[in-house]
Structure 1
Amino acid sequence: MLYRLLADVTAVVHFLFVAYVVVGGFIAWRWPRTVWLHLAAVAWGFSTILFGFDCPLTDLENWARHKAGDAGLPSTGFIDHYITGVLYPRSALDLVRVLIVLCVLISWTGLALRNRRAVRA
């Protein structure tokens, strides 16, 4: 029971992390010091895709699910299991990745413009 709960909580934290990668730059508009946390999250998130690093949250969820007697995530990982094909079609994966990069870049550009205006004022 506790292992299944740990697995479910880990999945929720993983969803929140993915969401933070996408919108964390906009959060930094309100709290500018969080941009460093967002930079680290983006670096980690994109490095798992670009270089194939294993995510410790996926490993933790798999471990907890196995301990609970459930099957773990497929070898393709968290995003492929919970998001791709569920929130958007698999055929749109490249488009979604481009949109996420654009979202991050727009949020960082907006933050830079806001900071530049604040320095001038």
Structure 2
Amino acid sequence: MVYRWLADAVMVFHGAFLLFFVIGGFLAWRWRKLIWVHLAVGLYSLFNVIMDFACPLTEPEKYFRRQGGEQAYEGGYINHYLDGTLWPEGATPTAEKVGFALLIISYVGFFVTGHLRKRRTTRDGSVVTRT
């Protein structure tokens, strides 16, 4: 029972990690310091996609599933849970490109909103600079 719970906890954490990859840059528009965590997640994800290595979260989940009496799935987390569910089967490379495009869009927005926060225009046209 404990092993199945641990496997599910790792699965949920893995999903949250991937969701944060997609939306974390947008969350940083509001919580500015979050950008540093998201930058690390983005760089890790880019490295993972380029080098095509197994995510270190997948193996513990599979281990806990086996220990809990379940059969571990073949392949990686994305192929098992997302491919064919959130997007058409076999479209993972396209989904990766969309994810990285959203990352870039969120970073552009992060810098634009940061610039707008520093420079606010009052009604009479004068510029107020925040420090």
| CA distance in 2: counterparts of 1:92 and 1:69, whole angstroms | 31
| CA distance in 2: counterparts of 1:104 and 1:98, whole angstroms | 10
Deviation at 1:27, TM superposition (A): 0.5
Deviation at 1:84, TM superposition (A): 0.8
| CA distance in 2: counterparts of 1:7 and 1:41, whole angstroms | 22
Deviation at 1:33, TM superposition (A): 0.3
State whether structure 2 residue 14 is matched by structure 1 residue 14: yes
Deviations 1:13-52 (A, max 9, x none): 1111000000000000010101010011111122222212
Code of the aligned partner of 1:88: W
Deviates more, 1:111-120 or 1:30-39: 111-120
Runs of 4+ in 1 over 3 A off after TM superposition: none
RCO (CA 8 Å, sep 6+): is it higher in 1 or 2?
Answer: 1
TM-score normalised by length of structure 1: 0.91
Matches within 5 A, 1:94-113: 94-113=93-112
| CA distance in 2: counterparts of 1:57 and 1:98, whole angstroms | 22
Q: How many residues align?
A: 120
Identity %: 34
Gap runs ≥5 in structure 1:
none
| CA distance in 1: counterparts of 2:58 and 2:117, whole angstroms | 40
Gap runs ≥5 in structure 2:
120-128
* 1:25 aligned residue: 25
Deviations 1:56-78 (A, max 9, x none): 2111101101111211131x200
> What SS class does the counterpart of residue 28 from structure 2 fall into?
helix
More strand by percentage: 2
* 1:46 aligned residue: 46
Q: Rg: which structure is higher?
A: 2
> What SS class does the counterpart of residue 71 from structure 2 fall into?
coil
Deviation at 1:54, TM superposition (A): 2.5
More helix by percentage: 1
| CA distance in 1: counterparts of 2:46 and 2:5, whole angstroms | 28
Code of the aligned partner of 1:29: W
